[in-house]
């Protein structure tokens, strides 16, 4: 069975979770963000309006969401100070381009459950492929990672259960990340060297 990448669940009117906004002191000075599955752009809007980000990449293949992202960017007042790339393609098609770069923040909010990365990692296991992808993403991410999981009917079954999610977070924590804040299956993580704390 082939799985199609479906973008992050990020509908109009949803604010950035308090879990993230309560850590604004960590994000004030970030300069670059990679948002995989940017949806309608709630994180894009929040980072542009509340931080000093200079480079934001929003990867989003779903045409309706892409149109909304363009409208959002056109309406943001201080957007001229930030270079914004809206990439209307699935992560699988552009991963090589962005894994070769570094970003202060990497966001994977409710998208992991849809990512079939097996062909890129020579494995038949969805979980093994995701863990190998995180090995690359941990090098791409300089400071903070924002991750959320959700039980979704049309997600990949192997990636839509709590045991898998716990395995992913444990993997990250054994590879130089630490949990700064957690709320159910939503996480703010930072590289260990930062010794970060939300105030």
CATH code for position 26: 3.40.50.150
Q: Is the pLDDT of residue 152 over 90?
A: no
Answer whether residue 116 is part of any domain.
yes
User: Which uninterrupted H or E stretch holds 106?
Assistant: strand 103-109
Around Cβ 77, how many Cβ atoms within 10 Å?
8
Answer whether residue 170 is part of any domain.
yes
Closest by CA to 2, choosing from 100, 103, 118, is 118
pLDDT at 35: 98
Answer whether residue 105 is part of any domain.
yes
User: pLDDT tens-digit profile of 92-128?
Assistant: 999 999 999 999 999 999 999 999 999 999 999 999 9
Around Cβ 5, how many Cβ atoms within 10 Å?
18
The interaxial angle of helices 63-75 and 42-50, nearest 10 deg, is 20
Q: Provide the token pair at 112.
A: 């992991």
Answer whether residue 4 is part of any domain.
no
Answer whether residue 10 is part of any domain.
no
Q: How many domains in the chain?
A: 1
CA distances from 66 to 38, 40, 54, 60 (A): 9, 7, 20, 6
Question: Is pTM beyond 0.85 here?
Answer: yes
Q: Is the pLDDT of residue 59 over 70?
A: yes
Closest by CA to 144, choosing from 96, 174, 108, is 108
CA distances from 64 to 33, 113, 144 (A): 22, 20, 28
pLDDT at 21: 94
Answer whether residue 183 is part of any domain.
yes
User: pLDDT tens-digit profile of 1-50?
Assistant: 333 333 333 333 468 999 999 999 999 889 999 999 999 999 999 999 89
Domain interval for residue 96: 18-194
Residue 153 binned pLDDT confidence (cut-offs 50, 70, 90): confident
pLDDT at 78: 61
């Amino acid at each position: 069975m082939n799985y199609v990448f479906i973008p992050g669940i990020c509908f109009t009117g949803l604010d950035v979770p308090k879990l993230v906004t309560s850590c604004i002191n960590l994000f004030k000075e970030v300069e670059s963000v990679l948002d995989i599955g940017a949806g309608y752009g709630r994180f894009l809007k929040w980072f542009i309006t509340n931080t000093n980000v200079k480079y934001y990449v929003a990867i989003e293949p779903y045409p309706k969401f892409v149109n909304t992202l363009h409208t959002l960017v056109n309406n943001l007042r201080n957007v001229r100070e930030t270079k914004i790339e809206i990439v209307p393609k699935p992560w699988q098609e552009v991963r090589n381009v962005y894994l070769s770069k570094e970003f202060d923040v990497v966001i994977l909010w409710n998208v992991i459950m849809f990512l079939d990365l097996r062909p890129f990692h020579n494995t038949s296991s969805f979980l093994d492929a995701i863990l190998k992808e995180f090995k690359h993403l941990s090098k791409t991410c300089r400071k903070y990672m924002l991750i959320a999981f959700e039980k979704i009917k049309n997600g990949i079954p192997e990636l839509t259960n709590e045991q898998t999610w716990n395995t992913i977070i444990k993997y990250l924590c054994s590879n130089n990340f630490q949990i700064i804040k957690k709320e159910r299956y939503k996480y703010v993580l930072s590289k260990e060297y930062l010794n970060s704390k939300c105030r």
